[in-house]
Amino acid sequence: MTDLTKLKIAEARDLLKKGDISARELTEAYISAVEAADALNAYVAKTPEMALEMADKADAMIKAGGQKGMTGIPVGIKDLFATKGVHTQACSHILDGFKPEYESTVSQKLWDDGAVMLGKLNMDEFAMGSSNETSYYGPVKNPWRAKGSNNDFVPGGSSGGSVASVAGYCAMGATASDTGGSIRQPAAFTGTFGIKPTYGRCSRYGMVAFASSLDQAGTITRDVRDGAIMLESISGFDAKDSTSVDLPVPNFEAALTGDIRGMKIGIPQEYHLAGMPAEIEALWHQGIEWMKAAGAEVVDINLPHTKYALPTYYIVAPAEASSNLARYDGVRYGLRETVEGGGLVDMYEATRAAGFGDEVKRRIMIGTYVLSAGYYDAYYLKAQKVRKLISDDFKRAFEKVDAILTPTAPSAAFAFGEKSDDPIAMYLNDVFTVPASLAGIPGSSVPAGLDANGLPLGLQILGKAWDEETVLKVSGVIEEAAGFTAKPEEWWR
């Protein structure tokens, strides 16, 4: 009997269709795998009973001839997607006990297609972090370890639980969200495929808001085809999100033709960072060679405002966060701390002091400051103008090229505590992912190789707005050329 948890979504879909396996069998295998993987700390809430009920519904759907791409596929949901009656806290203490009375559109679309929920996945608190170390529920461990070592590494962030569950065989796919790189960077750190679609492609309804002009849902899967299948399921217009765009959702899987002949691939010169590890440069160069070998034309391009993307992001995102997180006041949901003899404002201040972690507080404070009277123009308005220049850089580049190829992150996964004392060092991890988030364009990270320690490295593909198909197509070619078959040793079982 094959280990069902090693199947990919596309493979399981075909076996389910033929009746060789049932959604229930597949789900039972995953429930056991989730139980056995507590050492990864990927799940903050498990929903095995719901999973079995959903699996039975999926089996009925398949029997009735109504199978869709995600029918019967066991998935994990990042803790910031509202799931009715189930733990939804964005891994913050301040949302203690919150069980929403409604369902996020992204998760509802999965359930409508017959997918199966295994539970809620760990993440950086309110998605603020690049290592999953800011979660109230403790850090997630990367399933990958360096060769010959028992030391643990971070899984990246903020979607640390999403990538660890998929790389660690305790979900076939996972929802994730990207504000500055929270899908692509952790995907690169764990040898998984992550894709963030164009801003507006997936509904933000029912997603715990971090920075609303940047937040976008996406997926983590074990390969590109699975990503295409899952992304298609969660995409589409939703009247409940005013920034959701009313465009038809293409058949993403059909984009995986493997044919990129004649396509123009841009190489941004500003992404050659001083001090970047030679291995990352070498991998990027390898990617360029793969593109040429597949018949694409490689073109040097310039994105002149790249170096200003991170500082822009660290004004825009905290500003929006300080506004979004104002709703956590101890009145309507979650934690409440009162002060003996104190009034309403004391309750607000005590609740927020106890409920938010240090990084979240730091960002709320920065955001409050840059939006405060006398500083708004100098910081926030300035950042919004630079954001326009960054977005224009991409628009100009895409007049010349069809897609852009870069490394996903400037390093492989790092050790716990290595960057957590220095906020700016942590922020620099997102140097290659943040520009595309600011511009709202789609991007992916494809596993492309291992570093000298045996840890995964990823290449990033960026595309024009609404052209996820090209991103997926080029990703597929990289995947094929890289032949990435390395697997983590299953030390957590």
Partner 1 sequence: MSNIDKATVAKIARLARIKIEDEKLEPLAGELNNILGWVEQLDEVNTDNIEPMSSVVDAKLRWRADEVTDGDKQQSVLKNAPRGEYGFFAVPKVIE
Minimum separation from the CB atom of position 407 to partner 1 (A): 22
Helix (H, G, I), strand (E, B) or coil at 459: strand
* C-alpha span between 103 and 95 (Å, rounded): 16
* C-alpha span between 63 and 70 (Å, rounded): 15
Q: Which two tokens stand for residue 269?
A: 């010169």
Segment lying near partner 1 (by CB under 8 A), choices 156-164, 254-262, 292-300, 307-315: 307-315
Segment lying near partner 1 (by CB under 8 A), choices 10-18, 50-58, 337-345, 482-490: 337-345
78 included as an active-site residue = yes
Question: Distance from first CA to last CA of the chain, Å, rounded?
Answer: 19
Provide the residue count of the chain. 493
Q: Examine residue 331 and tell whether it contacts partner 1 (CB under 8 A).
A: yes
Pair 124, 91: CB distance under 8 Å? yes
Q: Which of 78, 109, 141, 473 is catalytic?
A: 78
Minimum separation from the CB atom of position 126 to partner 1 (A): 14
Number of shown-chain residues binding partner 1 (CB under 8 A): 68
Residues 6+ apart with CB under 8 A from 43: 34, 37, 76, 118, 119, 120, 121, 122, 161, 165, 170
Cα–chain-centroid distance for residue 250? 21
| DSSP per-residue codes, 44-56 | EEE-HHHHHHHHH
* C-alpha span between 78 and 119 (Å, rounded): 9
182 included as an active-site residue = yes
**Between residues 128 and 140, which has the closer beta carbon with respect to partner 1?**
128
Among 379, 398, 414, 432, binds partner 1 (CB under 8 A): 379
Pick from 114, 44, 117, 126: which is nearest to 83 by CA? 117
Q: Examine residue 206 and tell whether it contacts partner 1 (CB under 8 A).
A: no
Beta bridge partners of 218: 176
Among 40, 176, 364, 477, binds partner 1 (CB under 8 A): 364
Among 389, 418, 454, 481, binds partner 1 (CB under 8 A): 389
Q: Examine residue 466 and tell whether it contacts partner 1 (CB under 8 A).
A: no
Segment lying near partner 1 (by CB under 8 A), choices 71-79, 103-111, 220-228, 308-316: 308-316
Note the residues at the interface with partner 1 (CB under 8 A). 97-102, 199-200, 213, 239, 242-243, 245, 305, 307-308, 311-312, 314-315, 322, 326, 329-336, 338, 342-350, 352-353, 356, 361-362, 364-366, 368-369, 372, 378-379, 381-389, 391, 423-424, 439-440, 465
- Which residues have a catalytic role annotated? 78, 158, 182
